[in-house]
Amino acid sequence: MFSIRTMQIGDYDSVAALMQETPGISLRDADSRESTARYLERNPGLSFVACIEQNIIGCIMSGHDGRRGYLQHLLVHPQQRKKGVAHALLESCLAALEQIGIHKSHIDVLKTNEAGAAFWQHQGWHKRTDIERYSFIRSADANA
Ligand SMILES: CC(C)(COP(=O)(O)OP(=O)(O)OC[C@H]1O[C@@H](n2cnc3c(N)ncnc32)[C@H](O)[C@@H]1OP(=O)(O)O)[C@@H](O)C(=O)NCCC(=O)NCCS
């Protein structure tokens, strides 16, 4: 059985390793230890890890801008999938956001991530067809 607790910066190495082991997930500069520490400081109590004993087998990160929640990096170790781990992580996140008055949240899902898309739809999330996301990189580094 797994348990869920809030993510601390001390979990960074385990979470980064989980990301590296997950096909289709790429680590960007914004996933550095320093950026992750800043993210967790700005959004205390809103990111979670799932553990079996001391081992981290899943994670989710979230933050907000005062109005809306933004979820990212939901992933579960391939050997621990289809056991409700992602659902439990998501519930922890949404409950924590709700407690601070955030009732609507967004997540970006790569168009190629069919399993991810199926998960969100089964969780009752609504796929937006009315919005296109635009991004801009103000850095020489395309992996910023
Ligand atoms: C998407 C992802 C996070 C789902 O993780 P998960 O822990 O397997 O998800 P859950 O177990 O909560 O739910 C997944 C399915 O298992 C089913 N399930 C849950 N508990 C179950 C159990 N005890 N026994 C059997 N099936 C179960 C759920 O009903 C769900 O089925 P559905 O998708 O047909 O509705 C995981 O596949 C993953 O890490 N993918 C790679 C990273 C990724 O794509 N992340 C999303 C980015 S947007």
In sequence order, which residues have a C-beta less than 8 Å from that of residue 138 and are 6 or more positions away?
144
User: Rounded to an integer, what distance in angstroms lies between the CA atom of residue 144 and that of residue 138?
Assistant: 9
Is residue 127 in some structural domain?
Answer: no
Is residue 75 over pLDDT 90? Answer: yes
Structure tokens at 48: 């979670």
- Which residue segment(s) compose the domain that 72 sits in? 3-108
- What's the pLDDT tens digit per position in 76-95? 999 999 999 999 999 999 99
pLDDT value for 141? 85
Residue 115 forms part of a structural domain: no
The DSSP H or E segment spanning 134 is: none
Domain assignment of residue 130, yes or no = no
Of 25, 57, 81, best ligand 1 pocket probe by most atoms within 8 Å of the beta carbon = 81
Residue 26 confidence (pLDDT) above 80: no
CATH of the domain at 104: 3.40.630.30
Is 38 inside a domain boundary?
Answer: yes
Q: Are strands 3-6 and 48-52 parallel, antiparallel or unpaired?
A: antiparallel
- Among 20, 106, 119, name the best residue to mutate to test ligand 1's pocket (greatest count of ligand atoms within 8 A of Cβ): 119
Q: Is residue 125 part of a domain?
A: no
Compute the average pLDDT of residues 112-140.
95
Domain membership flag for residue 136: no
Identify whether 124 is part of a domain. no
| The two structure tokens encoding residue 127 | 């796929």
DSSP 127: P
Q: Is residue 32 part of a domain?
A: yes
- Residues 6 or more apart whose CB falls under 8 angstroms from that of 23 comprise none
